């Protein structure tokens, strides 16, 4: 477990012990009973926060998953299964998992809106099915028994609190893991996540499976709380209003889930005491969610921002570390690291690349240049596996890559950076490096960040300036120490001094990390300084290749770049 997760987990546990002790020990029974309901809603909200908050998908059937969990608990009770409530609840959670995965499947390749439609239609279908089947034991008035130790209202409160804390800590640890970082990365940009070797399918389905599991548990807890249930407990309207609350408070934060639970439970209670209709609550949640969506900030995020403002500002120094802490280079055989033969890409009738051949030798830095629209980005997309089809062959260290999707090419040792920034802003600098390079130690992380003048690992990416984020992109790919690194205009937007320094770093990559580099760049000084071979593209064709000093002086290259004829250059 990482230090940061340990700290956050401790905060959750201590807060739970203090608040739990106060509530169970001092408050009257009725309030303890209501607080239990807050916690159960909080568990359901945490499950929703995972898909809605972290992976950014619209999920509208969370209470249906809860219904599956509750139904399973009811069924096990009716069947007098061994194990008691705690075990039944876990089985109920597991029962919801296959459904979560099945419903996540249609959302694998298409984005959020389709998932919203699938989940909403599932919630409708589930409503009818549950109403027809009735809840097990409902007709015989059979109650779900609570464990003996936790039978009183205070006892059951503690029982639910235990579940809440375990789930909150587990989610906290998960969110700081590479899997958690991949959820944020997928939310921000699926392509960029795949370029780090993240399987989009695994990321999305795991989020769905875990979310369904937690939702199923919340349903099981509700079964023990109320004893008997009716299908209305899990109706679509409940799912919809839960979604609105999750959006409003930011349910993927521990405090967001609790604030949401408080709103859902206490607001109707207050309205009831004021003799006002209780369903006004949903109107408030709708307004709150709309407000949160328009500002792009949930209640939890506002809260955290205010707290940060109050804290004395800490000056974040650039990561300083010893160069000797850099991870050891991976030694590779000499010869071609990446070879591309006759690569042709067509968009309809337009030929973007026409029979391009290029080789990058191991241990070298090669350059790919050409005017705008020459096909450089298409070239990188094709090589890294982001185009659905191309002709020709691409092989990495002699192994053909055809038929491999982007994330597998990345895992095989072919990494790329992007012209535009695609790093998820919610990640920390260290978290981003952990996502890009599996199993990097803390000192190695610091060393790589120091090597590229990037900020401290604990810095949030959102507070890093655009130029430095581009360096961070480079840090990410080299940290993985792949066989080949494709750098897409890393010096764009850098000042001359920064670009000179970056050039020195790029030249060191083969020696320090054992990776061959293909540099796509407009900065000719940079290309001259670091590349041993240069290939020039124009209108999708290779017009020259060879050592930079020779190639850059060719008339055809000057013409392609400057648009002037050879004669006038000579004159």
Which residues would be at the binding site for another protein (CB under 8 A)?
Answer: 56, 58, 60, 105-114, 116-118, 120-122, 124-125, 127-129, 132, 188-192, 236-237, 240-241, 243-244, 247, 277, 279-283, 285-287, 289-290, 293-294, 386, 388, 405, 422
CB of 546 to another protein, least distance (A): 35
DSSP 213: H
Residue 37 C-beta: closest distance to another protein, Å: 20
- Report strand pairing: 516-520 vs 484-488: parallel
Residue number, 139 or 331, with CB nearest to another protein: 139
| Residue 39 near residue 165, CB atoms below 8 Å | no
DSSP state of 347: E
Alpha carbon of 323 to those of 191, 445, 509: distances in Å?
Answer: 31, 11, 13
Kindly tell me which of 142 and 201 has the beta carbon lying closer to another protein. 201
Closer of 169 and 383 to another protein (Cβ): 383
Smallest gap from residue 564 Cβ to another protein (A): 34
Q: Using an 8 Å Cβ cutoff, are 234 and 219 in contact?
A: yes
What is the C-alpha to C-alpha distance for residues 166 and 157, in angstroms, rounded to an integer?
Answer: 14
Nearest Cα to Cα of residue 465 among 418, 429, 499, 511: 429
CA distance 111 to 550: 48
47 or 235, CB closer to another protein? 235
Half-sphere exposure of 235 (CA within 13 A, CB side): 7
Q: Rounded to the nearest whole angstrom, what is the least distance from the CB of residue 391 to another protein in the complex?
A: 18
List alpha helices for 27-152, DSSP H: 29-48, 62-78, 84-104, 112-133
Q: Are 278 and 266 in contact (CB under 8 A)?
A: no
In whole angstroms, how close is the CB of 25 to another protein at the nearest point? 37
In whole angstroms, the minimum distance from the beta carbon of 253 to another protein comes to 18
CA dist., res. 512 & res. 331, Å (int): 10
Phi, psi at 128, each rounded to 5° = -65, -45
Residue (280 or 322) nearer to another protein, CB: 280
Look up tokens 């009811």; give the residue: 74
What's the min distance (Å) between Cβ of 145 and another protein? 31
Q: Answer left, alpha or beta for residue 250, where phi above 0 means left and psi between -120 and 50 means alpha.
A: left
**Choice between 106 and 335, CB closer to another protein:** 106
**What count of other Cβ atoms lies within 10 Å of the Cβ of residue 49?**
28
Q: How far is the CB of 144 from another protein (least distance, A)?
A: 26
Q: Which residues pair with 395 in a beta bridge?
A: 339, 400
Closer residue to another protein in complex, CB, 193/222: 193
CB of 109 to another protein, least distance (A): 4
Q: Which residue has the tokens 């028994």?
A: 145
Comparing CB distances to another protein, the nearer of 132 and 139 is 132
Of 42 and 104, which CB lies nearer to another protein in the complex structure? 104
């Amino acid at each position: 477990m990482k230090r940061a997760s340990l700290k956050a987990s401790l905060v959750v546990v201590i807060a739970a012990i203090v608040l739990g002790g106060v509530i169970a020990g001092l408050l009257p029974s009725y309030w303890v009973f209501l607080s239990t309901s807050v916690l159960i809603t909080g568990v359901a909200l945490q499950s929703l926060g995972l898909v809605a908050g972290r992976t950014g998908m619209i999920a509208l059937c969370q209470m249906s998953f809860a219904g599956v969990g509750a139904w399973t608990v009811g069924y096990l009770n009716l069947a007098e299964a061994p194990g008691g409530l705690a075990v039944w609840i876990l089985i109920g959670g597991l029962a919801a998992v296959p459904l979560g995965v099945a419903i996540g499947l249609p959302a694998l390749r298409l984005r959020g809106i389709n998932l919203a439609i699938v989940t909403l239609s599932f919630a409708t279908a589930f409503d009818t099915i549950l109403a027809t089947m009735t809840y097990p034991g409902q007709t015989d008035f059979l109650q779900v028994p609570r464990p003996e130790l936790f039978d009183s209202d205070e006892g059951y409160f503690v029982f639910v609190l235990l579940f809440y804390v375990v789930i909150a800590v587990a989610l906290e640890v998960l969110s700081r893991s590479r899997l958690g970082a991949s959820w944020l990365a997928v939310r921000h940009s699926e392509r960029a996540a795949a370029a780090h070797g993240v399987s989009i399918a695994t990321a999305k389905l795991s989020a769905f499976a875990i979310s369904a599991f937690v939702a199923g548990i919340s349903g099981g807890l509700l079964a023990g709380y109320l004893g008997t249930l009716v299908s209305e407990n899990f109706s679509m309207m409940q799912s919809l209003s839960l979604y609105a609350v999750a959006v409003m408070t930011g349910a993927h934060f521990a405090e967001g889930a609790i604030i949401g639970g408080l709103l859902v439970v206490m607001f109707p209670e207050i309205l009831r005491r004021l003799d006002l209709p209780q369903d006004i609550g949903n109107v408030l949640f709708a307004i709150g969610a709309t407000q949160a969506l328009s500002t792009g900030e949930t209640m939890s995020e506002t809260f955290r921002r205010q707290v940060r403002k109050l804290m004395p500002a800490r000056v974040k120094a650039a990561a300083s570390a010893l160069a000797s802490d850099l991870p050891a280079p991976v030694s590779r055989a000499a010869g071609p690291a990446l070879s591309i033969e006759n690569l042709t890409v067509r968009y309809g009738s337009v030929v973007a690349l026409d029979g391009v051949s290029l080789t990058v030798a191991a241990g070298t830095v090669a350059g790919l240049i050409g005017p705008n629209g020459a096909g450089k980005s298409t070239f990188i997309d094709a090589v890294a596996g982001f185009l659905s089809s191309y002709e020709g062959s691409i092989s990495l260290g002699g192994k053909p890559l055809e038929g491999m999707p982007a994330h597998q090419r990345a895992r095989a040792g072919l990494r790329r950076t992007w012209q535009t920034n695609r790093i998820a802003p919610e990640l920390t600098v260290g978290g981003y490096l952990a996502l890009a390079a599996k199993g990097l130690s803390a000192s190695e992380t610091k060393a790589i960040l120091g090597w590229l003048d990037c900020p401290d690992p604990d810095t949030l990416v959102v507070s890093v300036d655009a130029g430095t984020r581009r360096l961070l992109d480079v840090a990410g790919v080299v940290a993985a120490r792949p066989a080949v690194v494709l750098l897409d205009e890393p010096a764009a937007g850098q000042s001359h001094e920064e670009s000179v320094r970056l050039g020195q770093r790029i030249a060191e990559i083969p020696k320090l990390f054992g990776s061959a580099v293909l540099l796509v760049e407009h900065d000719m000084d940079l290309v001259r300084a670091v590349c041993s071979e240069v290939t020039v593209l124009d209108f999708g064709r290779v017009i020259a290749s060879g050592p930079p000093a020779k190639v850059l002086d060719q008339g055809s290259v000057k013409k392609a770049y400057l648009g002037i004829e050879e004669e006038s250059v000579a004159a």
